[in-house]
Structure 1
Amino acid sequence: MLPQKRLEQIQEMENLLGQSEAFLLEAEQFLEKWQQMLPTITKLEHYYFDGDWRQDYQAYEQGEIPEEMPCGVLTEDAIFDVGVTQRSLAISYLKLVAQILDTPK
């Protein structure tokens, strides 16, 4: 029989394998969600940079939109911040991917 130290190592590695498999499943699901979300964020950014956002913002400022209507989208930074956050996350993911790919086997 293997020494106790080796048996404990096998148990530890079994635990690490389970954690890794669960994490990678979550990561895969998150990646799928992000891919599904891309058209939504793209549409939102188009509205802000190339669409009707400025006219809608001016209408809001002039009181042409009902007060009870939620208009967080018309704040000056909300949509911009979504784009910045997404790009920041993408850069962080790229750095992590480069680190993973650069790790020798």
Structure 2
Amino acid sequence: MEKTGVSAEQIERVSQMEAALVRLNDAIATVEDALDTYEQMWDDYRALDSYYSGKAWWEDLDADNQGLLPEDLPRGVLSEDAAYDALGNAEALRERLKETAQSAQ
């Protein structure tokens, strides 16, 4: 049975809004997953910040400079730039999230 009284414009509108609903729900799920990761990230941030700003980092750097650490030990954390940049990037991300939340209101 053919339905009457519905315009092509209405059908197109419903189709567009259905697509918008699907995209919105997908985006929400993606952002929620990312926020879960972001929240967990701060434990690593605090640990790295404490390590990098404390005595242990200097002791480990000195041991590396003396060749005392195993050659196959990954040691990117002993690069001043790597730790500094990661901590700075985390802070920049925090600021971006604040700005994004404020602009969404």
Determine if the TM-score, normalized by the shorter chain, exceeds 0.5: yes
- Pairing partner for 1:65 from 43, 55, 69: 69
Query: Following superposition, which runs of at least 4 residues in structure 1 exceed 4 angstroms of deviation?
Result: none
TM-score, normalised to structure 2, is: 0.89
Q: Is the counterpart of residue 17 in structure 1 residue 24 in structure 2? A: no
Unmatched 5+ residue regions in structure 1? none
Q: Map of 1:45-64 to 2, 5 A cutoff?
A: 45-64=49-68
RMSD: 1.2
C-alpha distance after superposition, 1:62-103 (max 9, x if no partner): 1111212111111111111111111111111111111101xx
SS at match of 1:69: coil
TM-score, normalised to structure 1, is: 0.89
Q: CA shift at 1:51, angstroms?
A: 4.1
- Pairing partner for 2:99 from 84, 87, 95: 95
Cα distance in 2 for partners of 1:83, 1:24 equals 27
C-alpha distance after superposition, 1:34-55 (max 9, x if no partner): 1122111210111001240011
Identity percentage over the alignment?
27
What is the number of residues matched between the two proteins? 101
